Structure 1
């Protein structure tokens, strides 16, 4: 058994996928595509599914990837809170937490917390929480 991927459901597949490629240097693994039909609906339990998909490579991960899906008919939900049950956040280890935070904000993301050190004086670990352009929670870590 092995971990395969994480999936984000987007309001706008291309906008969200482009955000992850611009800020986190993800790359399209395959050409973006559309899937629909009885088999898709049977598999996901959503009648008449039409899904626009993107599979993005993740930096530092050879086999695992980020899947960004946009359903033609989606059910909107409130922006998730950091402490709500369910998928909590995506975490990226970065070389410069301040530069990456600025890039997230410039690309349409939003701040949540402040950069803080959760490590020790001998081994600092900086972290901060932000949101991607669709409100998903991101954590940045700099060791």
Structure 2
């Protein structure tokens, strides 16, 4: 929320009961759910935390399936500093995919859980 300017759309809610277990196939599931509004959009991001989690390997940039979340940011350097300050990690390096006169900066970072984030900053 602090790094990307998201706001709470629906406060933290605990989801449990037969309907949730039936829907996701996990018996006795209990999930903490929060909805965050994405700046400048009607879309939202739902974050889920399950009471019991299964181990997983660290996501790789080039593996099949869900890959990453991408955010347009006004200052890519400052956003990287904030991600690191919140426990994230560098994945790549800031790269200019545009030109010297019309830069388009991009980088892949990792959030504190190791998920991949793409940051983009355009010249305009």
TM-score, length-scaled by structure 1 = 0.82
1:82 to 52, 57, 61: 61
2:100 to 107, 121, 127: 121
| 1:137 aligned residue | 116
Deviation at 1:59, TM superposition (A): 1.1
| 2:32 aligned residue | 52
Deviation at 1:121, TM superposition (A): 3.4
Q: Are residues 1:107 and 2:86 paired?
A: yes
CA RMSD of aligned residues (A): 0.9
Deviation at 1:47, TM superposition (A): 1.4
State the secondary structure of the residue aligned to 1:24. coil
1:98 to 52, 77, 83: 77
TM-score, length-scaled by structure 2 = 0.94
Higher helix fraction (1 or 2): 1
Aligned positions, number = 122
| 1:13 aligned residue | none
State the 4+ residue runs in structure 1 displaced beyond 6 angstroms. none
Q: Which stretches in structure 2 are left out of the alignment for 5+ residues?
A: none
* Equivalent residue runs for 1:13-24 within 5 Å: 21-24=1-4
For 2:118 and 2:11, how far apart are their aligned partners in 1? 28
